[in-house]
Structures are given as C-alpha cells and as structure tokens.
Amino acid sequence: MAATDSSAFAAFEAYDFDNDEEFQAGLRTLPSSAAGEPLLRAKVFYYSTAVAPIDLAQYQEWKSAQHSLTFAEVAGMILRGETVPGIRQIPDAVSDQPPSTSTARAPPKPWETRSPGE
C-alpha cells in the first residue's frame, strides 16, 4: 500500500538521491535527456522499492497543493520583485544563432501579376 500522508511525501522530498550510489547507478542507465517527469518517475520507483512505497499521482497532487498561491500573493511577490515559484525564467535574447538565409521565392507583388485577359 502506497503512503499518502504529507509526512511520507516530505520524507521523499528530503531523501538524498544525489548521494545514493544505487540510485545513481540506475540513473546512469537512463538516457541523458531523462529530466523532469522521467526523472521524477525514476525517483518514485526507486524510493517506493527501496525505502517506502508512495503513489506518484498523490505525490504530484500534494506537491501542487503545496505551491498554490492566491492572485494577491502572486501580485505582491511581483511588486516586491521576488521570484514567483514555478515560473520559468526566459532570457531576453531572441537567439544567439545567426539568421538563416531564405530559400523561398518572394511572392509576386500585386502589380507584378498578370490577369488572364492581358
């Protein structure tokens, strides 16, 4: 039976996955792109088999409830210049890559097209 109380979820969050050699060995077998959801699934699977069972869906529900902010709280954080949790920071730069050259022909301008009667 998977644990569903907040103390179990807090224990899961406090678990030191970075220094668990068995977890790190298993993590090396995953593709290097395994981040976000795949990494969380791997952590839940390992923790559930090695430490104590927890339910991923219930953990995610608990986690989202932990970070629910009211509009007033978010507005206050913005006014104070604080970082709002869960918001991804996007750089101001558009791209550091040089623009590509166009390979498509430009469409004809209205005065460059000929009507069928001409």
Mean pLDDT of each 10-residue bin along the chain, 118 residues long:
72 90 87 76 91 90 76 88 78 82 88 69
Closest CA to 45 of 19, 65, 22, 78: 22
Looking at the DSSP assignment, which residues form a beta bridge with residue 54?
A: 3
Largest Cα separation within the chain, whole Å, is: 83
- What is the predicted pLDDT for the residue at 1? 47
Residues 81, 77: Cα–Cα separation, whole Å: 6
Residue type, 97: Q
